[in-house]
Amino acid sequence: MSQLFYIHPDNPQPRLINQCVEVLRKGGVIVYPTDSGYALGCMLGEKNAMERICRIRQLDSNHNFTLVCRDLSEISTYAFVDNTAFRLIKNNTPGNYTFILKATKEVPRRLMSEKRKTIGLRVPSNPIALDLLAALGEPLMSTTLMLPGNDFAESDPEEIQDSLGKVVDLVIHGGFLGQQPTTVIDLTEDSPEVVRVGAGDPKPFM
C-alpha cells in the first residue's frame, strides 16, 4: 500500500516535502496536488515510472505529458521560447495554464509529441507543488490524474488512496481540490492558439 502524507496546503512541512523527493529519486510514482486537481508525477528520466503512469491512466503512445516547472528558468532548458512567448508566459505564471512549445534535446523523445516534437510545460501556483519542485531541483514529468472513463481530474485524496493505493508509491493529501483543468495555449507558431479553455483566463492570448 502506498504512503499517505498529510501536507499543509498553505505551509508545507519541509520534512515531508523532502521525504516526497526521496520517493521520486528512487523511481517512485506519486500523486500530488496542483492548481487544477491532483496529478500523477515522476522524475524525467524514469522510464519505468512513466510506463506505470501510462498503465494507471490507460494512455496510448500519443499522449502528451507535461513538464511541471518551478519557474521560468527551467522552461528555457526544455523548450525553445522566443521573446514574445516568454513575455506571455512570464505575465501568466504561475497559474492555470499549460503551454505547448517546441521541445529541446533535453526532453526525452518518449515524452514529446512524435509528429510535432513539442512538449507541454507549466508553472503551477499550488504551494505544495512549488515546494516539491524546489526541493527536487528539476521538473516533474506529469499528467492530470483522470481515471479511465472519467472526464475530470480526481479531487479527493482519500478516494485516490482507496483506488490507487496499490499502484502508486505515495499520495500527498493536500486537501480537497477543484477539478477544472488548465487552459492550454499553443505557442509553437507566430500567434498564440487557445487549444482548450479551462481555469486560466484565455483573454491574454486572444
Give percent of the chain with pLDDT exceeding 90.
63
Q: What is the pLDDT of residue 76?
A: 84
* Per-residue pLDDT tens digits for 138-164: 999 999 898 877 877 788 999 999 999
Q: What is the pLDDT of residue 113?
A: 62
- With contact defined as beta carbons under 8 Å apart, do 35 and 125 qualify? yes
- Every domain of the chain and the residues it spans: 3-205
Nearest alpha carbon to residue 173 among 15, 28, 53, 12: 12
Fold held by 3-205: DHBP synthase (3.90.870)
Give percent of the chain with pLDDT exceeding 70.
97
Please give the single-letter amino acid code of residue 146.
M
What is the DSSP code string of 3-30?
EEEE--SSS--HHHHHHHHHHHHTT--E
DSSP structural state of residue 118:
E
Q: What is the mean pLDDT of the chain?
A: 90
Question: What is the rounded average pLDDT of the residues 88-115?
Answer: 86
DSSP structural state of residue 169:
S
* Per-residue pLDDT tens digits for 22-79: 999 999 999 999 988 899 999 998 999 999 999 999 987 667 789 999 988 888 889 9
Phi, psi of 24 (to 5 degrees): -65, -45
Residue 191 CB partners (closer than 8 Å, separation 6+): none
Q: What is the pLDDT of residue 162?
A: 93
